[in-house]
Amino acid sequence: MNRTHEYFLGIDVSKRKLDVALLHGGKSRSKVVDNSSAGHEQLERWLSAQGAGAQTTQVCLESTGSYGERIAFRLADAGWWVSVVNPAQVKGYAQGELARNKTDRSDAALLARFCERMRPARWEAPSLEWRQLRAKVERLEALKAMRQQESNRLEAHSVGQSVDLAPSLQEHIDWLDRKIAELEKDIKDHIDGHPTLRADAELMSTIPGIGELTTMKVLGYIGDVRRFQSGKALAAFIGVDPRRCESGSSVKGRSSVSRAGHAAARHALYMPGLARKFHETGGETSKA
C-alpha cells in the first residue's frame, strides 16, 4: 500500500468523454475532457496546473471495456500509478456510502473517494505484444460469432419464401471462413515471433485438454500470468474461485464459483475443463 499519494484522481469513462474528479486535502475539483488524444493531453495539462504529478497521484478507473484503455495505457506508460478496478467493488463502496445520485460527474467523484479510502493495487499495463495478441484474439472471436449468426440465417433462409438469399449468405460465410483462417495463422505467427509468448504457449500445450485455439484465447485474455502473485489470484481474475454460501446454523447453501472475473477467459476454459473432467471420470460428470 502506497501512502505517499496526496492526490486521487477518479476517471469515469464513456465513449466520447472523460469525467474526472481530483481529490486533494478533502477538496474535489472536476473537469470534462474528450476521450481522444487531444483530450488526454488537455487532462495532463490540467493535472499539472493543479499540482498533481505522476509521483504524488493515484488514478482510479473502472474496468469497463476498451473506451478506458487508451487513457489507462497513456498514464501507466508515463509512470502514473493507475488502478483499474472491478465495477462491483465500486458499486459496493457506493452502497456503503448510501450514494443516491448517479451521474458521470458523481461517478468520477465516487471513484476518487474510493481510491483514497481503499488504495487499490497498481495496475500492470501489458506489454505491446500482449496488447496486440488480445486485440487479434478478440477480433477472431468477433468473426466467429458473425459466422455463427450468418450460418443460423442460412439455415433459416434455406427454406420458405426467402430461399433466394441463401447464395449471398453462403458467399459471406465463405469469406468469413477465409478471414478466420488468415487471422488464426496471424495469431500463431505472432505468438511464435515473441519468445515469452511462445514459451507460455508451449507450457500451456502440456496441460491435458488445452488445445491450440484455447491457448490463443487464454494467452490473449489473461495476459502474462507472472503478474499474479498466486494461483488463487489467477483463479479470482478468471472468476473460478469458490463462493461459499453459509451463515449461522441455518444457511447451508451449495458452494459455487464466483463468476466475478473475466467472463471470456472463463468461457474459453469451460469446454476444455469439462472434456478433461469427462475423461477423468470415465464419462461421468456431476450435475453441476
List, for residues 118-160, the tens digit of each pLDDT value: 999 999 888 889 999 999 999 999 999 999 999 999 988 877 6
- 7-118: CATH number: 3.30.420.40
Query: Model confidence at 163, in pLDDT bands (50, 70, 90)?
Result: confident
Domain boundaries, the chain: 7-118, 128-227, 231-280
Q: How far is CA 270 from the centre of its chain?
A: 17
Contacts of 236 (CB under 8 A, 6+ apart): 258, 260, 261
Over residues 168-185, the pLDDT tens digits come to 999 999 999 999 999 999
Cβ atoms 276, 209 nearer than 8 A: yes
Q: CA 186 to CA 218: how far, in whole Å? A: 16
Cα Rg of the chain, angstroms: 23
Query: Model confidence at 244, in pLDDT bands (50, 70, 90)?
Result: low
Beta pairing, strands 242-243 & 246-247: unpaired
E strand or H helix that includes residue 195 = helix 195-204
Over residues 206-229, the pLDDT tens digits come to 988 888 999 999 999 888 888 888
Q: CA 22 to CA 247: how far, in whole Å? A: 40
